[in-house]
Structure 1
């Protein structure tokens, strides 16, 4: 693998870090988002690395960058194990200086993207108070046992609720409760029968499909390459450049094990 040629005047590379998926649409979607980020900032070197399942894997991307500094922008929607441990370890193992940006959520630009995808799927603002009392949205997310992840998802739900004017209830595909189906039933028990599902997933995959199948009506598409999401990626990149650098783990072998493809 030949390292890329860089000059001292080049800005740090932006490395999009996708989770990886067996669904082939996921890679296509992430590459479309990467292309949109490049169009917004043509002079900025933008690369892609996966945590697992797809190539290029993140350690390989960082190795190819050689001595070029980088900012890892996780395409993850809340804090969790990958953001707190795996990515800092990968950054510590990189050949050059690498920073880890915050996850994409919570942030108003994420809520803007979620709102836009719901609108594309057919969501309309309730026309009167009676319709509003009967309406709600379930925010479907991957789920994590990390309490910070759940807190981040709840914050995103509140931001989306402020935009929509109806309750937004977080629900999860794995590792946390409630499930989307349970959230829909709980809302129906409260008289809210007009329920849509917002997809808090970057790209199509098993979890996104599982949550959409539980929707009683409108199910939004994943976030994809929406313009607001591309702007959010660049915002997280700029934030990481100006934030004080936190001390990272110095366990490169652990990092490579954590980011190795699943068997």
Structure 2
């Protein structure tokens, strides 16, 4: 039996200090044997939607910085690089696991999760779906960085320096309904700890929710407020960010985009799902 055919029986191991460098290398890097299933990043919408190039950058970071394994992108809509088509081209002998599909989502999304499960279940090649990227402390790290990029937070909360533009309170605005807001509260708590400032969550789809969060922040003593979009970038809700911030008269940071923390999370979710699948 060849070493390649034996590879899927070996569980991935946490990489120690790898000789291959990279400025974004972190703790969630893994040494993976060859021949394992492909990581496929499932992206909402179609390949023609603006901003989807960030998914290409994320899979590049996953390959180079975290797994050393090939990674692909599959879109849930449209014909170009459609997830079903991508999976169909990965069929392996003896019904071996061909792919682990990681949703490009900051948290559970019933509609996205259902669509993803249906595609994975009906794919000609055997595949499994991983958990969404968040909630996870890495999401809070990425939100913090985007606020810092916009001059709305200190990049290092320990460094004692004055930033006149730094917000004294933050609204984490997430797509979805009340359930999505509750799920994003975990990230809000983690972000508040990083910023040492109050953080409230709100629905990006509900202007009254954003206004209520702003009122809560002002009641808590925040004199300057910023809005942090709890989304990655290709979601259709991205267009709502500017209007939500305008509704409460506050500046806002950019979506998470191809942040290195998301690549670390994608690698982590891949390894978690793969370990479970290989253990069955």
Q: Does the residue aligned with 2:231 lie in a helix, a strand or coil?
A: coil
Shift in Å at residue 188 of structure 1?
3.1
The two structures, once aligned, show a CA RMSD in angstroms of 3.0
Is the alpha carbon distance of 1:179 and 1:212 closer, same or farther for their aligned partners in structure 2, counting shifts above 3 Å? farther
Q: Which runs of 5+ in 1 are unaligned?
A: 1-6, 248-263
Shift in Å at residue 224 of structure 1?
1.2
Aligned residue among 142, 149, 163 for 1:113: 142
Question: 1:141 — aligned with what?
Answer: 174
Q: Deviations over 1:78-108 (max 9, x none)?
A: 1121454222222211223211111111101
1:35 is aligned to 2:64: no
Q: Deviations over 1:176-224 (max 9, x none)?
A: 6853344224433544231111121111554223123332333111111
Equivalents in 2 of 1:46, 1:244: separation in Å? 18
Shift in Å at residue 114 of structure 1?
1.0
TM-score scaled by length of structure 2 = 0.73
Q: Which runs of 5+ in 2 are unaligned?
A: 8-34
Aligned residues of 1:154 and 1:170 also touching (Cα < 8 A):
yes
Q: Deviations over 1:139-184 (max 9, x none)?
A: 1111146x3x44321111111111111121111123x685334422
Equivalents in 2 of 1:144, 1:61: separation in Å? 31
Q: Does the residue aligned with 1:85 lie in a helix, a strand or coil?
A: helix
1:167 is aligned to 2:192: no
Equivalents in 1 of 2:244, 2:112: separation in Å? 28
Question: 1:213 — aligned with what?
Answer: 243
Q: Deviations over 1:212-238 (max 9, x none)?
A: 333233311111111111111101111
1:97 is aligned to 2:107: no
TM-score scaled by length of structure 1 = 0.77
